[in-house]
Amino acid sequence: MSGSLVIAGLGPGAGDLVTPQVTAALGRATDVVGYIPYVARIAPRAGLTLHPSDNRVELDRARHALEMAVAGRRVVVVSSGDPGVFAMAAAVFEAVEAGPPAWRALDIEVLPGITAMLAAAARVGAPLGHDFCAINLSDNLKPWSLIEKRLRLAAEADFAMAFYNPRSKARPEGFARVLEILNDACCDARPMIFARAVSTADEVIHIVPLPDARPEMADMRTMVLVGTSDTRVIERDGAPFVYTPRSVPV
């Protein structure tokens, strides 16, 4: 049997946001590899082996998947959201580059998914309607000094911003520093969107002006979006709409 490896995005949480392409790949799989809560989203069935693992063993997980694919298995590596956005696709290709020649000869396919950044933006309107950037605020794989540098430069360039992994129990002080930098660099009341567990039954969304944002508004299940100086809030009955115009005044 010829093996294959698919790296698939499961979307932000809701089952109907998983693409048909990903669903079909999972239906053909003999093995599914991924972080424990993501693998838990896959329904067990005859002929399918699930391989859940801890969140900090990405390269080990990638190597295990590649070894099984070389052995003839049809392997799917799952990530939440999109596998190419702070997720497993980069880890798999890092393992391929450093691994044996047989891994480079494998049939490897990346299947995109709806990332939390886009799902959160869609919930409130179009806050990412113009130039934007995404920053992972976890310092597990990069120094905090680099996070601060990129954050300040993005704010000074007036990008809309999307923050992944904003605040955890292990590093509660980091997001407080992020808010300090934003308030210093932006000096305005642009909107911030805190979208927790977007698309799931636990979804909660708060929209607040930057000066009113507090560290405790975010945790690891929260996607944080920051508008630009031109981002608009349309007040109405119910939740407001937030959008960033597609043009910038000269």
Residue 247, pLDDT score = 87
| Cβ–Cβ under 8 Å, residues 83 and 113 | yes
Residue 248, pLDDT score = 84
Residue 173, pLDDT score = 83
Residue 30, pLDDT score = 97
pTM greater than the 0.75 cutoff: yes
Residue 207, pLDDT score = 97
Residue 1, pLDDT score = 57
Mean pLDDT by 10 residues, the chain (250 residues): 90 94 97 96 95 89 97 96 95 97 95 96 97 94 94 96 88 88 94 96 96 94 96 95 91
- Spatial separation of the C-alpha atoms in residues 37 and 54, rounded to whole Å: 9
Closest CA to 71 of 25, 22, 31: 31
β-strand 4-9 against 204-209: which pairing, if any?
Answer: unpaired
| Cβ–Cβ under 8 Å, residues 113 and 79 | yes
| Cβ–Cβ under 8 Å, residues 159 and 132 | yes
